[in-house]
């Protein structure tokens, strides 16, 4: 039976601006795909990221260019041969996973051969701001298990110490979003140790991280912008101890599963991350997060309104979407 592909653009306003070293977001602009086959409909979402030269219009065009092949029955493995990795392929790949689960009358977890994802601790993000404002935000989240702190190169020590003083209990991930130099990294080593930071994410620009080879810092360093897929593993393995896997970078759940397995095989820790997105992006990522040392999937919690039936936050514990939302045989919830 021939499929039908529907491509749509959606913009989800944020409840509050999301600020990092690279800029500020006020909305999550996404591309969503529906693939119908008979009565079954699979859905997926991608978040085009300007840092990687992506745009919503470009992603829509990329999906439209292969619409005929998808409607003719291209599967997840073949998809990687006709679309490059990125947000556009992620939306299609995840829609195919959802569709396959519904056609098979099984869950995606069952198709993968793992247990269904349950509640898990996720990082809640403290956006970049003045130290006093970051401390106020941290105080409101002092009871959660894990915080992610966005910093820049201006005064990261004051930012981080303010957060830790206001929230002494949670584990901390610190994310400079490529804004540091080696001089800042060296200067911050004592601060990272004093503040009991568990992970430092992508401190240096991805194209200038050679100095991390053999670097012995006070906390593990994770590759984010420096790692997209399997082709990057050889390069990052000698520079980072952890890899942040995002489906929008790998081009979908199919490639993310392969990357996670290969990273673990090399002795690297795995982190699962996301863009600012709806729960339609989060549901597939949970299948990577279930086996990750660090989970950072709070993207939907920044939205003024998420998709109906989506994930929810219970004091820093991510509650998966309702049955039928994505990746099982139940009828899909409405948006």
Q: What are the tens digits of pLDDT across the range 26-39?
A: 999 999 999 999 99
Does residue 148 carry a catalytic annotation? no
CA-to-CA distance for 333 and 74, rounded, in angstroms? 25
pLDDT number for residue 22: 86
The dihedral over CA atoms of 212, 215, 216, 222, expressed in degrees to the nearest 10, equals: 20
Does residue 246 carry a catalytic annotation? yes
Q: Give residue-wise pLDDT tens across range 89-142.
A: 999 999 999 999 999 999 999 999 999 999 999 999 999 999 999 999 999 999
CA-to-CA distance for 24 and 208, rounded, in angstroms? 24
| Contact criterion met (CB below 8 Å) for 274 and 282 | yes
Q: Which of 4, 25, 148, 150 is catalytic?
A: 150
Q: Which of 4, 148, 246, 249 is catalytic?
A: 246
The CATH number of domain 4-106, selected from 1.10.3720.10, 3.40.50.150, 3.30.390.10, 3.30.1330.80: 3.30.390.10
Homologous superfamily (CATH) of 120-319 is Enolase-like C-terminal domain (3.20.20.120)
Helix 279-289 × helix 87-104 angle, to 10°: 80
Quick one: the chain helix, strand, coil %, rounded to 5? 40, 25, 40
Number of separate helices (H) and strands (E) present in the chain? 12, 14
Q: For the chain, give every domain's residue range.
A: 4-106, 120-319
Q: Give residue-wise pLDDT tens across range 237-263.
A: 999 999 999 999 999 999 999 999 999
Q: What's the whole-number average pLDDT of the chain?
A: 96
Residue 206 burial (CB count, 10 A):
17
| Contact criterion met (CB below 8 Å) for 21 and 128 | yes
Find how far residue 328's CA is from the centre of its chain: 21
Q: Which tokens is 167 given?
A: 């929230």
- Provide the β-strand partners of residue 19: 24
Q: What string of DSSP letters covers 265-327?
A: HTT-EEEE---S--HHHHHHHHHHHTT-SEE---GGGGBSS--TT--EEETTEEEPPPTTSSS
What values do phi and psi take at 127, rounded to 5?
Answer: -70, 160
Q: Which tokens is 196 given?
A: 């009991």
Strand ordering across the sheet containing 40-46: 4-20, 23-37, 40-46
For residue 186, give every residue at least 6 positions away whose Cβ sits within 8 Å of its Cβ, in sequence order, or none. none
Give this prediction's pTM. 0.95
Q: Is the pLDDT of residue 334 over 50?
A: no
Cα dihedral sign, 286-290-291-293 = positive
């Amino acid at each position: 039976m021939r499929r039908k592909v529907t491509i749509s653009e959606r913009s989800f306003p944020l409840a509050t601006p999301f600020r990092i070293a690279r800029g500020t977001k006020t909305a999550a602009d996404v591309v969503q795909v529906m693939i119908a086959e008979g009565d079954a409909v699979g859905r997926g979402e991608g978040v085009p990221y300007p840092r990687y030269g992506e745009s919503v219009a470009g992603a829509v065009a990329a999906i439209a260019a292969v619409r005929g092949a998808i409607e003719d029955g291209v599967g997840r493995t073949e998809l990687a041969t006709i679309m490059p990795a990125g947000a556009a392929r992620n939306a299609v790949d995840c829609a195919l996973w959802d569709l396959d689960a519904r056609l098979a009358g099984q869950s995606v977890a069952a198709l993968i051969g793992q247990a269904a994802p349950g509640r898990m601790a996720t990082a809640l993000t403290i956006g970049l701001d003045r130290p006093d404002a970051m401390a106020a935000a941290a105080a409101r989240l002092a009871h959660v298990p894990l915080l992610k702190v966005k910093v820049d190169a201006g005064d990261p020590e004051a930012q981080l110490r303010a957060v830790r003083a206001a929230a002494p209990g949670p584990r901390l991930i610190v994310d400079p979003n490529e804004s540091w130099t080696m001089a800042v990294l060296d200067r911050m080593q004592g601060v990272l140790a004093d503040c009991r930071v568990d992970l430092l994410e992508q401190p240096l620009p991805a194209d200038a991280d050679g100095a991390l080879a053999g670097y012995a810092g006070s906390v593990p360093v994770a590759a984010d912008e420096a790692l997209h897929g399997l082709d990057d593993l050889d390069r990052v393995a000698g520079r980072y101890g952890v890899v942040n896997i995002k489906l929008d970078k790998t081009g979908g759940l199919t490639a993310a599963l392969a990357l996670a397995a290969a990273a673990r095989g090399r002795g690297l820790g795995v982190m699962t991350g996301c863009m600012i997105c709806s729960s339609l992006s989060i549901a597939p990522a949970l299948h990577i997060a279930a086996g990750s040392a660090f989970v950072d999937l709070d993207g939907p919690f920044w939205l003024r309104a998420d998709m109906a039936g989506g994930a929810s936050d219970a004091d820093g514990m991510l509650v998966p979407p309702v049955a039928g939302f994505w990746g099982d045989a139940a009828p899909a919830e409405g948006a």
